[in-house]
Amino acid sequence: MAPIGIIGGSGFYKLVGIKNPQRVYVDTPFGAVVMTRGILAKKEVVFLPRHGEGHTIPPHRINYHANAYAMYKLGVEKVIATSAVGSIRDDLRPGDFVLPDQIIDFTKNRKYTFFDGDFSIRLRNGEVRRGVYHVDVTEPYCRELREIIYEVGKEMSIAIHFGGTYVCTEGPRFETPAEIRFFKIIGGDIVGMTNSPEVFLFKELDICYALICVVTNYAAGMQKRITQEEVLEVFKERSEILAELIKRVVARL
């Protein structure tokens, strides 16, 4: 059975409950990646903290290409990722979980694709993608995996929302109130800094990818001010429940 990939966002630097953990160094054409490989809920998993184990990598400097390719190289077919986000809607409250189904990309200086003209890869189904390739992102996030996460979340009585539009900004600064008003007008529900190009790269590799967002705050202009300490504190408060949710989802898979 293929290992299940888990990506930890801000405040989620270690995978609680993993057994027989081993450090794995994966060389890729885009750089080396260090991950933890082990057993969770009797399934093989590989865990990667997106920002590094001590939150040392800001959103705009994450090596998204190496991370995604390393998962592919280890045979991962399904990825469960986590992320701290701000809420653009009054009814998405701090502490709630959101499973987005759409994304609007407002990043500015990132490399967005594997396919710059000279890249080629053979997918698990035998399909070869090479050169200039235009991936379909009608459904950026894997619906099958989102449905399982949602079902498990409801069984756990978590305040979890199925669907929503994630607005991705460049960071590392927080957004202005004017930007948040604009994002709300165009249909944004939550805002974060890390899901582009991550979701698109996994789509290009044909890896089933779902994102569990933890709302840590209301976005700029909806509350007096935002601090990184507040974001990490709220995420920490929900991290135990998040870890249990992931464990039960892995067991269900």
Strands 19-28 and 31-40: antiparallel
pTM, whole model, 2 decimals?
0.95
CATH number where 162 lies = 3.40.50.1580
Report how far residue 75's alpha carbon sits from residue 78's, in angstroms, rounded to the nearest whole number.
Answer: 9
How many Å from the N-terminal Cα to the C-terminal Cα in the chain? 11
Closest listed residue to residue 234, CA positions, set 248, 212, 214: 214
In the prediction, which pLDDT does 94 show? Answer: 94
For residue 237, what are the CA distances in angstroms to 82, 200, 214, 242?
A: 14, 30, 10, 10
**Confidence band of 237 (pLDDT split at 50, 70, 90):** confident
Tell me the C-alpha to C-alpha distance, in Å, between residue 145 and each of 37, 39, 161, 210.
21, 19, 14, 6
Domain extent for 243? 4-252
Number of domains in the chain: 1
Question: Helix 143-155 and helix 228-252: axis angle, to 10°?
Answer: 100
3-45 pLDDT, tens digit each: 999 999 887 888 888 999 999 999 999 999 999 999 999 999 9
pLDDT per position as a tens digit, 134-192:
999 999 999 999 999 999 999 999 999 999 999 999 999 999 999 999 999 999 999 99
